Amino acid sequence: MNSKNLIKIENIILQRGGATVLDIPEFQVPHGRILALIGPNGAGKSTLLLMLAGLLKPWQGKMYFQGEHIESRADLAMLRRNAAVVFQEPLLLNSSVYENVALGLKFRRLKNGEIRKSVQSALDYFGISQLAKRSAKTLSGGEAKRVSLARAFAIKPQIILLDEAFNSLDPPSRETIIDDLKEILEETKITAVLASHDREETLRLAQDVSVMNAGKIVQSGTTVEIFNQPDSEFVANFVGTESILEGIVNSTTDGHMVIAVNGKSIEAVGDYSVGQKVYCCLRPENVTVSNYTRGKISARNIYEAKVSKIIRQGFFYKLTLDCGFPLVAYITIPSCEDLGIAKGGAVIASFKATAVHVIRREK
Amino acid sequence: MKMFRNSKIIITLMIASLLFAFGTANVFAGKAAPKQKNIILATTTSTQDTGLLDVLIPLFEKETGYFVKTIAVGSGQAMAMGQKGEADVLLVHSPDAENKFIADGFGVNRQLVMHNDFVIVGPAVDPAKIKGTKSSAEALKLIANANVLFVSRGDNSGTHAKEKTLWKKADVTPVGQKWYQETGSGMGQTLNVAAEKKGYTLTDRGTYLSLKKNLGLDILVEGDSALLNIYHVIEVNVNKWPKVNVAGAKAFADFMVSKNTQKIIITFGVDKYGSPLFFPDAGKNVEDLGK
Amino acid sequence: MELIVQGIIKAFELIISFDPEVLGITWLSLKISGTATLISLFIGVSIGTAVALTNFYGKRLVISLINTGMGLPPVVVGLFVTILIWRNGPLGFLEILYTPSAMIIAQAIIATPIVMGISLAAIQNLPPNLRLQILSLGASRLQMVWVLIKEARLPLLAAVMAGFGGVISEVGASIMVGGNIKGYSRVLTTATVMETGKGNFDIAIALGIILLLLAFLVNLILTQIQQRQHPR
């Protein structure tokens, strides 16, 4: 058993009501990393998540936790004790915030002093110590979500599982909570698996991604790999067409940033600090190709590029360009012919700073 | 763990109170126990409603150590209980039915205990003009002819049985007539209905006296020997029903006809109503009753 | 109207004077109905919760039966219990006909389906993922059930109050299996019927008022527990 994997499953088949809900020959959750399960509704993400949490009854196939084979009900119970789940609804009890966060600890019959310490640190992590005495029913959506996260962390699990946990939050709360969670996961190095169908959430949180469809895992890899190199039309349609580029903010002035990507610079709008690791996301529709070498246009980002691939896609051509970093552009058929674009040819690729969507990668 | 601790206290309290209540629910003022302690006495509502049994039963219990379960229903139901062996001794006042009961072998040792009398009561204005009539059957005929309301108990009680014999004597069939209403309830209730609707009814003197104050009905016919209300005590036949408390039934019957008890019966109600409610007759012949 | 006023006055007199017979009847009513309610609480909540949380073939049918049981006519229950426990019945050897124990049993039979049915609905009404959430925090099955019951405290206490209300006020079964024996199995309801039959309306009304007061006091306490909100 590979000790770098926290959980490993082999040949799992799960049937429910006559239909096959999960069919996974092989799947691992590596230690200390954040993995996202993405896919359309009904793909089996939640089911797989519940199985990893030890909440689903015996199935066909094998599952290993920390190298141990999970077989009996006692094994499942042990897995449950080492995992914590956060659902989409906060599912808080009708008592104080303190009581809620302490719930898992109380089940373990710990001493009051120990409980108090763990609860306090969990509350501090999520910045909600001032809410300790409040009734859980009076909290806002964001506050409640923080409480359920604190509750999961308080029991110091080996793995934390989040099932579309941020779906029901308003965007500002969502952003801060995801940031905070990412920071805490990096600091505590707790393994995390999250099920999501939100691409931005996935980009911001996950280091690894597995794409699911109809109970099967169709592609696994790092986040950048999945987003930039989908290996099937299904995955491509699901992850979207943006190019995702990893970069670091070099300088920032008044809402205008210069980001270093692979030795080149990309200009974008936004307000991150220098040194911040980011993703630059760019839609292929926003990339213009020309054979201008001189003259001024308003686009800030202009690069010499070589055409590495041309693929006809329906009513346009999809160009893969190499500017020092990979770039994808959609060009109409007439334009392609007019410009005489061919594989291996040299072009100028440009896009506006305002077309670059920048997402924070790590703190 | 405050959450669990509080709940544990509550649960312990609940279990404790459950045990306490269940345990004490069956405790009666403990006496020295004869072997089969419980006697089921099936009797009529009139003996209960007048309060006579409330005086006699505690005396009996103290004397003998038995515990008497007095089930006060109509004479009809009391005898039905005896027929099923669900009672040990009966104290009833429905002579014809009693005779059948004995003849069918369900009861033994039928002993005369006491009597009082029935009276016909009605509104003071007496629309059927029955006041002073010597014969009760005659009075009933007058009521039928005058089409005035008559309220019956209609519940197979001793009173109801007496009423039916009188109607037969008067050669009248009241059932189904518009002026004849059956309440299906006890004497007190029936008297109240009669008072409310200003009708006539047949009642035992005892119940009437105890309610007289608030009723507004007057005694209109009394003294007819046909109006005698005779109480017997009957022991249920253990040969038909082995589970019957034979010793207990006999003890109770003996008690009811004993000299002491008979003395208590004649004094019962005198201070309250000016005359006794029941007249003791143990040992006499039925034909000799009445004046 | 005057009768009601008389009744109120009579009730006052009886209470103030601590009339021992009335006190005895009241205490017995409370003991019998309270015990029956406690029994129905244990059986009703546990089975109701179990049915709510498990899936099994025929679950709908069982729930229908429970819901039907909520409307069991008390007098019919009394009749069946009587036939079971009278001398010649299958349980006659217990000799419990015409005892307070028989009344407790009959009332428990009446109250249990009520508590069961409402508990069932209360647990079913909890968020469906709550069960999984609690389990995932490391709870044993028993701990999970306990937390769910506490979460459903509001409707569960309503169930208990419904059960208690149903039996403190019932008279048909109590008369049949208890026998209304003075000082032994006579309770407020059976005494009220008897006094009405005797024609003593003022006493009957007084007893009725005392019964209402008793029920009110008990429900006051239960409501306090039910509505207790966690401090803000």
Domains of chain A from N-terminus onward: 5-240 (3.40.50.300), 244-362 (2.40.50.100)
Given C129, C132, C139, which is nearest A107 (Cβ)?
C139
The domain B38-116+231-288 is classified under which CATH number: 3.40.190.10, 3.40.50.10240, 3.30.2000.20, 3.20.20.70?
A: 3.40.190.10
Between CA C167 and CA C175, with CA C172 as vertex, the angle to 5 degrees is 100
Structural domains of chain C in order of their starting residue, each with its CATH number: 2-226 (1.10.3720.10)
Q: In sequence order, what DSSP letters do the residues of chain B get, joined into one string?
A: -HHHHHHHHHHHHHHHHHHHHHHHHT--S--PPPSS-EEEEEE-HHHHHTTHHHHHHHHHHHHH--EEEEEE--HHHHHHHHHTT--SEEEE--HHHHHHHHHTTSEEEEEEEEEEEEEEEE-TT-TT--TT-S-HHHHHHHHHHHT--EEE--SS-HHHHHHHHHHHHTT---TT-TTEEE--S-HHHHHHHHHHHT-EEEEEHHHHHHHHHHH--EEEE---GGGEEEEEEEEE-TTT-TTS-HHHHHHHHHHHHSHHHHHHHHHTTHHHHSS-S-EE-TT--GGG---
Window 107-136 of A: residues touching C by CB (8 A cutoff) are 107-108, 133-136
C125-137 mean pLDDT: 93
Say which residues have a Cβ less than 8 Å from residue A7's Cβ, sequence separation at least 6.
A28, A29, A52, A63, A64, A65, A159
In degrees and rounded to multiples of 5, residue B117 shows phi and psi of: -130, 160
Q: Among candidates A255, A259, A263, which has minimal Cα distance to A274?
A: A259
In the sheet that holds A5-16, the strands lie side by side as A19-30, A5-16, A60-65, A68-69
pLDDT of residue B78: 92
Chains that touch C (3 or more CB pairs under 8 A): A, B
C198 and B188 within 8 Å at the Cβ level: the answer is yes
- At B236, the pLDDT band (50, 70, 90 cuts) reads very high
In percent, the amount of chain C with pLDDT more than 70 equals 98
Instruction: For residue B48, list chain C residues with Cβ-Cβ distance below 8 A.
Output: 194
Query: Nearest-CA distance from A80 to chain C in Å?
Result: 6
DSSP assignment of chain C equals: -HHHHHHHHHHHHHHHTT-HHHHHHHHHHHHHHHHHHHHHHHHHHHHHHHHHH---TTHHHHHHHHHHHTT--HHHHHHHHHHHHSTTSTTGGG--TTSHHHHHHHHHHHHHHHHHHHHHHHHHTS-TTHHHHHHHTT--HHHHHHHHHHHTHHHHHHHHHHHHHHHHT--HHHHHHHTT-TTTT--HHHHHHHHHHHT-HHHHHHHHHHHHHHHHHHHHHHHHHHH-PPP-
The answer to whether A265 contacts chain C (CB < 8 Å) is: no
State how far residue C140 is from chain A, nearest Cα, in angstroms. 8
Establish if B32 touches chain A: CB-CB under 8 angstroms: no
Decide if domain B117-227 falls under CATH 3.40.50.10140.
Answer: no
Residue from the list B18, B40, B207 with its beta carbon closest to the beta carbon of C38: B18
| Contact between C219 and C164 (Cβ < 8 Å) | yes
Residue carrying structure tokens 């010793």 = B247
pLDDT tens, residue by residue, B88-122: 999 999 888 999 999 999 999 999 999 988 999 99
The answer to whether the B38-116+231-288 and B117-227 domains have the same CATH topology is yes
| Chain B residues lying within 8 Å of A99, measured CB to CB | 3
> Which of A1-10, A84-93, B211-220, C52-61 comes out lowest in average pLDDT?
A1-10
Q: For residues A103 and A106, give the distance between their C-alpha atoms in angstroms, rounded to a whole number.
A: 5
C contacts of B31 (beta carbons < 8 Å): none
- Domain boundaries, given as residue ranges, for chain B: 38-116+231-288, 117-227
Which chain C residues are Cβ-neighbours of A160 within 8 angstroms? none
Is pLDDT at B2 greater than 50 in this prediction? no
What is the pLDDT confidence band of residue B3, given thresholds at 50, 70 and 90? very low
What is the tens place of the pLDDT at every residue in C174-222?
Answer: 999 999 998 899 999 999 998 887 777 888 889 999 999 999 999 999 9
Spell out a b/e string for B238-255, using b for 16 or more CB atoms within 10 Å of the CB, else e: bebbebbbbbbbbbbbeb
| Mean pLDDT, range B145-153, rounded to an integer | 92
Residue A109 to residue B1, Cβ atoms within 8 A: yes
> Per-residue pLDDT tens for A321-345?
998 888 888 888 888 888 888 888 8
Residue of C149, C198, C205, C226 to mutate, testing the B interface (most B Cβ within 10 Å of its Cβ): C198
Query: Across the interface, do B4 and A99 touch by the CB < 8 Å criterion?
Result: no
Strand ranges (E), chain A: 5-16, 19-30, 34-38, 60-65, 68-69, 83-86, 159-163, 191-196, 208-213, 216-222, 243-253, 256-261, 264-269, 277-282, 288-290, 301-313, 316-322, 326-332, 346-351, 357-362
CA angle B86, B89, B92 (to 5 degrees): 105
- A93: nearest CB among C129, C151, C229: C151
Percent of chain C surpassing pLDDT 90: 72
Residue of A nearest to B4 (CA): A106
CA distance A107 to chain B (A): 10
Could you tell me which residue, B66 or A292, shows the higher pLDDT? B66
Q: How many CB pairs under 8 A join B and C?
A: 91
Set of chain A residues whose Cβ sits within 8 Å of the Cβ of C140:
77, 107
ipTM score above 0.90: no
Overall average pLDDT of the A155-170 stretch: 92
A85 neighbourhood in chain C, CB within 8 Å: 132-133, 136
